[in-house]
Amino acid sequence: MADMPTDFWGGWIAVITVVSLAALCWFVFSIYFAANGQDEGEAQVWDETLGEGSNPAPMWWFWLILSLMVFSVIYLILYPGLGSYSGVLKWSQGGRLDESFASYREQFGEVRQSIAKATLESLQEDPAIMASARRVFDRKCGICHGSDARGQASRFPDLMDEAWQWGGDVAQIEKTIRSGRQAVMVGWQAVLGDDGVKQLARYVRELGQGGQTKDDDPGKTSYQQFCVACHGVTGEGNIMLGAPSLVDDVWLYGDSAEDIEQTIALGRNGFMPAFNDRLDDTQVRMLLAWLTRIQ
């Protein structure tokens, strides 16, 4: 109750509680110990045989109610319950949580800190750490990237291959995980028209297969005009922009003619959420070790 909006309400609740307890006490005592006026007069009779009895309530009820009231009073002294009074024991749910966090930190803090600072190689050599890294991955990332990090649904990239759209250095992968990534490739349908899209898609597929492309290929002309800025002259891509290589035979969105036509016509906007607030340093370090391990 310590977070009651104002003292007034805390006080109000305390008064109601104390007054109700006192009234209940008075009521119970009056039933058992007040002089019983009805003994003196005639007992009230409602019908021929239906009379108002004056049997006293059994005494064990009294003791039961009394002990419950004593229990309530002791409880209210020890624990929070009386308005904003926090009780002699200062117990609180939040307090319990803080305590268990503190003991968790005490128990594992050192180990966790040493993991956050360890070299990736030493983490990769420890099977227990790799196993918990995998559990973190399954919990936080598996839903999109698949539980073996092999990617899925032609939307979520394979993280076990050699191709890194946003860079495969540890620092770049860490940035991807902490800050997230938003890929922006706009659609070119309006600029190129249906035929233009088809020609360009054919060209891109030839480029991907390493085929010799002709200089007068209209697809090549469009590529050099519209695509070079992000995907590079030879289609090698640009990790600064998250523009993938078009010549590594890795296709996030599929390599069929229709898939590539769709990519070019409508664009793609893959979004990787930021995990800085959802993972601590230890977890990020373990994930980095797991993702860059040699299998």
Instruction: Give residues in contact with ligand HEC (CB under 6 A).
Output: 140-141, 143-145, 155-157, 159, 164-166, 173, 176-177, 181, 183-185, 188, 200, 204, 226-227, 229-231, 241-244, 246, 251-253, 260, 263-264, 268-273, 275, 287
How many CA atoms lie within 13 Å of 256's alpha carbon, on the beta-carbon side? 4
**Residue number with the smallest Cβ distance to ligand HEC:** 270
Distance in angstroms (rounded) separating the CA atoms of residues 188 and 196: 9
Six-digit token string for 295: 């299998």
Q: Are 242 and 183 in contact (CB under 8 A)?
A: yes
What's the distance, Cα to Cα, between the start and end of the chain in Å?
A: 55
CB of 113 to ligand HEC, least distance (A): 20
Q: Min. distance of Cβ 282 from ligand HEC in angstroms? A: 13
CB of 211 to ligand HEC, least distance (A): 16
Question: Hey, how many other C-beta atoms are within 10 angstroms of the C-beta on 206?
Answer: 16
C-beta closer to ligand HEC: residue 82 or 250: 250
Quick one: 59 or 171, whose CB is closer to ligand HEC?
Answer: 171
Residue among 56 and 211 whose Cβ is closer to ligand HEC: 211
CA distances from 21 to 3, 17, 67 (A): 24, 6, 13
Burial class (CB in 10 A: 0-12, 13-18, 19+), 71: exposed
Our CB check for ligand HEC shows the closer of 112 and 140 to be: 140
Tell me how far CA of residue 185 lies from CA of 209, 224, 241, 265, in angstroms. Answer: 22, 16, 9, 10
* Minimum CB distance to ligand HEC, residue 117 (Å): 20
State which residue, 83 or 285, has the beta carbon closest to ligand HEC.
285
Closest contact distance (angstroms) between CB of 76 and ligand HEC is 47
